[in-house]
Amino acid sequence: MLSGRHWLTSLNVQILLAAVIGLALGYGLNGLADDSTLKTEVLYWANIVGRFFIDLLKMILIPLIFTSIVVGIASLQAHHQAGKVWRYTLFFFALSMLCAMVLALVMTAWVKPGGDLQLAMFADAMAQFEAKQMSGGEFFAQILHSLFLNPIAAMAQGKILPVVVFAIFLGIALVQHSKHKPDSPRTLLSSLQELLALLMLIVNWIMRIAPLGVLALLTKLMATQDMNLLATMAEFIVLVFAITIIHGVVILPGLMYLFTGRKPLWFWRATRPALITAFATSSSAATLPLSLRCAEQGLGVNKDVAGFVLPVGATMNMDGTALYEAAAALFVAYLVGADLTIAQQIVVMLTAMVASMGAPGIPSAGMVTMIMVLQAVGLPAEAIAILLPIDRILDTIRTAVNVQGDLTAAVVVDHQLNKGSA
């Protein structure tokens, strides 16, 4: 039995308490006038602390992604497991995203949100919003172009996807080089392995201030929300939260139990720091250092498997985003009085799956991908203006589920590899 002092020294507990305090404090500040001295002062320091925490995570993000993927692929290839990891990973990503979108479409069609709202109340926002039009062909061409960039430039600009692609190529090249020249020294791989160990040490240092960062970010989030707008859009907001929570509490744990026999409580205890940080930062990429730490130390996932599955998942596997975009498309359809057929809903589902993978390098990528989903079934792209004001609050929960999906995939892939080698 832990004493009160030992209980409070647990990082998991500290982050959970920080999240609760931040939400409560932010909600209290929201009721104060914008020119209130107390509100101004608290938000000033919350912004500094929150930004400092995010900057630390971003500082380590690119080198961590690069080294973890290269080392992971080289190690997995050496044990002849890379092919299996690819197959298991992509299969689980597709399965979990498909489940997310089917759930979103079924529940949204059942609830039919937006029937009581009038588009006129958003007329000003829609009139001022200028949608960036992009055809499906242009969108895919832009994605393809964004995959293959100068890796040094991509690292400097913080573009994750081309860094992932280059790391995969380099990892495979290291393996092929060692096969053709087995006697040559593996200096580069050894250096990257040592660099990865040092980066994980830095992650442990950053984790010490994670509770303060989470508290600051959630305080600012709640204090700056427009509560009147949230009340107006409450039905849709509650629906998205409900769908996302069902996916995170029922679907993903169910898939994990089906493939591994692991209990959800074990998973949530081990991943709580990453999930709460994802909720606070609304960034799967920024949460990646913590996800890697939770996967290796909390879930016991092989570091090479985690080093491959999680960085790839942070750019490709977006369960929360996919279900949100599918639900949002139906929501917009109800607002404008359109009745989507089953065939059109399938088009929405497939388009959302592709769009949710993201497209680094496209200006306003989030808006462009949502517009792509709307245009796929003939809905007005300008309706994105309805979703923009509430996007920040919805981004919290869907990012947490995005990260949960990546961590679940890492557990499943690691279990399948262990089962296959047993």
> How much of the chain, in percent, has pLDDT values that exceed 70?
82
The pLDDT mean for the chain works out to: 81
pLDDT of 4 > 80? The answer is: no
pLDDT (average), residues 347-369: 59
Q: Of the ranges 267-281, 362-376, 379-393, which one carries the lowest mean pLDDT score?
A: 362-376
The pLDDT of residue 140 is 63
The confidence band for 126, taking pLDDT boundaries of 50, 70 and 90, is very low
Confidence (pLDDT) at 52: 92
Q: What is the pLDDT of residue 364?
A: 38
pLDDT computed for residue 79 by the predictor: 57
pLDDT of res. 357: 62
pLDDT higher than threshold 60 for residue 133: no
Q: Is the pLDDT of residue 289 over 80?
A: yes
Name the pLDDT band for 365 (thresholds 50, 70, 90).
very low
Mean pLDDT for 376-389 is 73
CA dihedral 64, 65, 67, 69 (to 10 degrees): 150
Q: Return the pLDDT at 92.
A: 94
pLDDT at residue number 368 = 59
Provide the pLDDT for residue 25.
Answer: 93
Query: Which pLDDT score, from 0 to 100, does residue 179 have?
Result: 72
Give residue limits of the domains in the chain. Answer: 11-421
CATH class for the domain made up of 11-421: mainly alpha
Between 388 and 314, the higher pLDDT residue: 314
SS3 readout for 255-319:
HHHHHHCCCHHHHHHHHHHHHHHHHHHCCHHHHHHHHHHHHHHHCCCCHHHHHHHHHHHHHHCCH
What's the pLDDT at 130? 46
Above pLDDT 90, what percent of the chain? Answer: 24
Q: What is the mean pLDDT of residues 95-117?
A: 85
CA nearest neighbour of 54 among 264, 234, 285, 250: 285
CA distance 46 to 40: 10
Q: Give, rounded to a whole angstrom, the gap between the first and last alpha carbons of the chain.
A: 36
Residue 6's pLDDT band (boundaries 50, 70, 90)?
low
Q: Is the pLDDT of residue 68 over 90?
A: no
User: Is residue 337 very low, low, confident or very high in pLDDT (cuts 50, 70, 90)?
Assistant: confident
Q: How confident is the model at residue 186 (pLDDT cuts 50, 70, 90)?
A: confident
31-50 per-position pLDDT tens digit: 888 778 888 899 999 999 98
Calpha distance 77→214 (Å, rounded): 38
Q: What is the pLDDT of residues 187-224, one digit of tens each?
A: 888 898 899 889 888 888 888 888 898 899 889 888 88
CB atoms within 10 A of CB 101: 27
Please check the confidence at residue 394 and state whether its pLDDT lies above 50.
yes
pLDDT confidence bin for 373, thresholds 50/70/90: confident
Strands (E), 45-157: none
Write the CA distances from 157 to 58, 148, 355, 365, integer angstroms: 11, 14, 22, 15
* Phi, psi torsion values for 65, nearest 5 degrees: -60, -45
The pLDDT value given to residue 103: 94
Its pTM stands at: 0.80
How far is Cα 280 from Cα 388, in angstroms, rounded to an integer?
Answer: 18
DSSP 166-235: HHHHHHHHHHHHHHH-TTS--HHHHHHHHHHHHHHHHHHHHHTTHHHHHHHHHHHHHHTS-HHHHHHTHH
Which is higher by pLDDT, 184 or 25? 25
* Mean pLDDT, residues 238-252: 94
Residue that has been written with the tokens 């509650």 in this structure: 238
Whether residue 7 is predicted with pLDDT greater than 90 in this model: the reply is no
pLDDT computed for residue 128 by the predictor? 47
